[in-house]
Amino acid sequence: MMLKYSFLIIIVLFVMILSGCSKQETSPKTSVSSPSGNNRIAFQLNDDGTPTYTVQHQDKTVIDTSTLGFEFKNQAPLKDGFKILGSQLKSKNETWDMVWGEQRKVSNHYNQLTVRLIETQAPERPLNIIFRAYDDGVAFRYELPKQKDAKEVIITDEKTQFQLTGDHTCWWIPGDWDSYEHLYNTTRFSEIDALAKQNSPTLTRTIIPENAVNPPLTMRTSEGLHLSFHEANLTDYSGLTFKVHPSELMMETCLVRSDREGYSVKRDLPFKTPWRSIQISESAAGLIESRLIVNLNEPNKLGDVDWFKPIKYVGIWWEMHLNKSAWDLASGKHGATTENAKAYIDFAAENGIGGVLVEGWNTGWEHWIGFEDREGVFDFVTPYPDYDLEGVVRYGKEKGVEIIMHNETSAAPRTYDQQLETAYSMMHRLGIHSVKSGYVGKIIPDGEYHHGQWMVNHYRRVIEAGAKYQVAVNAHEPIHPTGLRRTYPNIISREGLRGQEFNAWSPDGGNPPEHLSIVAFTRMLAGPIDFTPGVFNIKLKPYKENNHVNTTLAQQLALYVIVYSPIQMACDLIEHYENQPAFQFIRDVGVDWEQTKVINGEVGDFVTIARQERETGNWFLGSLTDENPRSITINFDFLDVDKEYQAIIYRDGQDAHWDKNPTSIDIEKTVINKSMAKTFMLAPGGGLAISLKLKDS
Ligand code: NOJ
Ligand code: CA
């Protein structure tokens, strides 16, 4: 009897467990909300088994039903005929430390949903999609698990749609596969015409095959919600552009392709794609304070990188862009001489500047620009005869100044790959801890592009060589930043935009006064920028008659705070800083921050940022405006309570103007505390910089 009962109970329990399971199977969780509940991302299968998602912010739909999937070269598309196998929820709430950065502590708080799919018909391939909801945005990535019949996939297209819900105002650059060095356009989404932007004067090459845009792509809805679309953790995959379908208010991923191989991505299974991220903020300022992109990356893999310290630097650089000197020896006006380098070291030492960059020090520059066959040309260990590399490094050490290595590859990455070990071990031996690299020109071999998988992997090998030899990397003509600096804190800064150099030689008149007011809300969301601020000789006379910098001097100072980078150049010729009271700001300003507050801003109009320096607790503030003058009220309530700050205010003179009177600047010393507010006038193309040093308490 007893036995009979036990048997019955076991059967009942078994049936209950089974029905429990199948209940979970038939209605798995398919949406996830952020910790505060303000953002929600939801998954759904269409009637034909196509995976789709939607995004909501509060009660508004931000992304309407958008499909997900892939097209391959070696198998049928993976985009419909799915059923849901199951789903899992997971949450994380952690705080991690930035080794260097905009702030010391970063909160990483999200809820995550993984949806597991499988094709209902043969070959029954699986596909997982991982969704994350943060309070400052959402993101998702694909996971391609192992397949029964294939070891690798060759992706010709990722079919990820973004169905917008309005004709938003967009700040965009064309989806160039070789260069991000374009001016931003401000148009409605329906008016985006990237193909009309083919002939930009960039230093690389312009390949714009589609009506696509490069991320980060920032938008504002008619209700004032700000969205910025990007990718995070770009690893062994092709760079992302967004193909625009103007009349449908829809865009979809368009991966950079290798024309040599005829595909975008080749990967062994299993693997995960980069994250597709959408920052969501009610204010423009909130986009800059968001740490979504770094949070989507893996934790620090390098551990202690105390061999790299954020620094300011000067260098033998601007003089070449001004044609005062040249990179190559044969020109007869070689800039990188031992004597010149020592003069820069002396200047750096006298002004508390930690680094000196020397470009044009190595052989090969005679065959730099305009040469088709650039492989094997540059040598990354052999100096020109008029440059004593070891002697210069030694002289710098004696004066407490580090030399920043320069490796221009002229877009011949195979040559650089061959020399990585030699070049980076030499830097290690010399005690050089950072390098600026460059990829000017069209990539060799033909058919590869700066932003394709082949180059993404090259740039990563360089980072790994740097990590091995304790060298931090600042790449120019790079792949865009995707937050990998969290994982590899030796990725310090990079270019990847129209930097200051365009003001020296660009035939289109340089960067317009609005440029940085857009950059701060677009490119800067991706990561640190080596913009190279600090031109004091704004009209570039007597070097360049037809070029000039289109900002006031006060705006050049403001950039040290606004444009984030752990290395900040004072780019002008050192003689232009002599007897310049405004140079005191560059001496004083921090480069590594305890915290960052975005005080105000509107994309393309103005922005004000305050940052507190690590170690000292001093604050620095920068504000800039576009071509319009503006009055800005700063409430100093971000300062510490009960503390007095000795402030130096560098503001546009009354008659300052980016074109008519750019160097008019007023400098005032005063004492400021938390309870104060002040109103400042910014000139057209102008700015404001304030240093706030704690008074001895
Ligand atoms: C382009 C870089 O952006 C610039 O800073 C550098 O001077 C040249 N390449 C030469 O490497
Ligand atoms: Ca460049």
Instruction: Looking at the CA of residue 320, tell me the nearest atom of ligand 1.
Output: 7
Bridge partners, residue 440, by sequence: none
Tens digits of per-residue pLDDT, 394-449? Answer: 999 999 999 999 999 999 999 999 999 999 999 999 999 999 999 999 999 999 99
Residue 138 structure tokens = 């959402």
How far does residue 189's CA lie from ligand 2's centre (Å)? Answer: 28
The atom number, within ligand 1, closest to the CA of 321 reads 7
Locate the ligand 1 atom nearest the alpha carbon of residue 532 and give its number. Answer: 5
More confident residue, 4 or 263: 263
In a mutational test of the pocket of ligand 1, which residue from 316, 494, 501 has the highest number of ligand atoms less than 8 Å from its CB? 501
Which ligand does the CA of 359 lie closest to? 1
* Cα angle for residues 422, 384, 367 (degrees, 5° grid): 85
CB contact at 8 A, 345 and 392: yes
- The three-state secondary structure class of 639 is coil
Q: Is the pLDDT of residue 141 over 60?
A: yes
Q: For residue 408, which atom of ligand 1 is closest to its CA? A: 11
Of the candidates 295, 320, 343, which is a domain's last residue? 295
pLDDT at 7 over 90: no
**CA-closest residue to ligand 1 atom 7:** 317
Q: In the 8-state DSSP scheme, what is residue 27?
A: S
Retrieve residue 134's tokens. Answer: 């943060």
The helix/strand/coil state of 652 is strand
Whether omega for the bond prior to residue 478 falls within 30 degrees of 0, making it cis, is no
3-state secondary structure 546-587: CCCCCCCHHHHHHHHHHCCCCEEECCCCHHHHCCCCCHHHHH
Nearest to 614 by CA among 192, 231, 49, 103: 103
As separate numbers, helices (DSSP H) first and strands (DSSP E) second, the chain gives 13, 35
When pLDDT is cut at 50, 70 and 90, the band that residue 370 belongs to is confident
Active site residue 501: yes
Ligand sitting nearest the alpha carbon of 435: 1
Which of these, 106, 234, 218, lies nearest to 173 by C-alpha position? 218
Mutate to test the pocket of ligand 1, among 180, 404, 408, 477 (most ligand atoms within 8 A of CB): 408
| 588 in any annotated domain | yes
The position carrying tokens 């148009």 is 187
Q: For the whole model, what pTM was predicted?
A: 0.95
CA gap 678, 695 in Å, rounded: 19
The closest ligand to the CA of 368 turns out to be 1
Instruction: Tell me if 465 is assigned to some domain.
Output: no
Give dist(CA 466, CA 420) in Å, integer: 9
CATH number at 272 reads 2.70.98.10
CA of 491 to the centre of ligand 2 (A): 17
* Residue nearest (by alpha carbon) to ligand 1 atom 6: 438
Q: What is the mean pLDDT of the chain?
A: 95
- Mean pLDDT, range 642-652, rounded to an integer: 98
Closest ligand by atom to 437 CA = 1
Q: How far is CA 90 from CA 25, 29, 35, 111, 405, in A?
A: 18, 12, 12, 6, 44
CA 275 / ligand 1 centre spacing (Å): 30
What are 664-680's pLDDT values in tens digits?
999 999 999 999 999 99
From the list 501, 514, 594, 613, the catalytic residue is: 501
CB count, 10 Å around CB of 368? 18
What lies within 8 Å, CB to CB, of 133 at 6+ separation is: 32, 33, 34, 39, 40, 41, 110, 111, 112, 113
Compute the distance from residue 267 Cα to the ligand 1 centre, in Å.
Answer: 33
- The pLDDT assigned to 26 comes to 52
* pLDDT at residue 374 greater than cutoff 50: yes
| Residue 398 φ/ψ, nearest 5 degrees | -60, -30
pLDDT in tens, 463-474: 999 999 999 999
Q: Is residue 644 part of a domain?
A: yes
Q: What is the domain count for the chain? A: 2
Q: In this predicted structure, what is the pLDDT of residue 696? A: 80
DSSP secondary structure, 288-357, as one string: HH--HHHHTSPPPSS---TT---EEEEEE-HHHHTTSSBSSSTTS-BS--HHHHHHHHHHHHHTT--EEE
Q: What is the number of the ligand 1 atom nearest to the C-alpha of 317?
A: 7
pLDDT value of position 422: 98
The answer to the question of residue 481 being in a domain is no
Q: Which of 537, 579, 551, 509 is nearest to 652 (CA)?
A: 551
Task: Indicate whether 7 belongs to any domain.
Answer: no
Distance of CA 348 from the midpoint of ligand 1 (Å): 21
Kindly state the average pLDDT of the residues 530-548. Answer: 97
Cβ contact 130:32 at 8 Å: no
Q: Among 295, 310, 337, where does a domain finish?
A: 295
Task: Indicate the length of the chain as a whole number.
Answer: 697
* Structure confidence at residue 21 (pLDDT): 39
Query: Which 3 state secondary structure label does DSSP give 589?
Result: coil
pLDDT (tens digit, 9 = 90+) per residue, 268-301? 999 999 999 999 999 999 999 999 999 999 999 9
- Position 126 scores a pLDDT of 98
Q: Considering the domain boundaries, does residue 216 fall inside one?
A: yes
Cis geometry, peptide bond prior to residue 533 (ω within 30 degrees of 0): no
Ligand 2 center to 66 CA (angstroms): 36
Q: How far is the CA of 657 from the centre of ligand 1 (A)?
A: 29
Distance CA 98, CA 407 (A): 27
- Strand pairing category for 355-358 and 402-408: parallel
How are beta strands 265-268 and 619-625 bridged, if at all?
unpaired
pLDDT above 50 (res 91): yes
Q: Is the pLDDT of residue 236 over 90?
A: yes
Distances (CA, A) of 256 to 152, 213, 361: 19, 12, 34
Mean pLDDT, rounded, for 561-565: 99
Pocket test for ligand 1, best of 178, 180, 203 (most atoms within 8 A of CB): 203
Residues with CB under 6 A from ligand 1: 203, 317, 359, 408, 438, 440, 476, 495, 501
Asked if residue 445 is part of any domain, the answer here is: no
CATH number at residue 657: 3.20.20.70
- Residue with the smallest CA separation from ligand 1 atom 8 is 438
**pLDDT for residue 355:** 98
Res 25 pLDDT > 60: no
Q: Above 60 in pLDDT, residue 552?
A: yes
Range of the domain at 205: 26-295
Domain boundary among 234, 263, 295: 295
> Looking at residues 479-506, what average pLDDT do you find?
98
Does 157 fall in a domain?
yes
| pLDDT of 217 strictly over 90 | yes
Q: What is the dihedral of CA 502, 508, 509, 512, to 10 degrees?
A: -80
Residue 18 has pLDDT above 90, yes or no: no
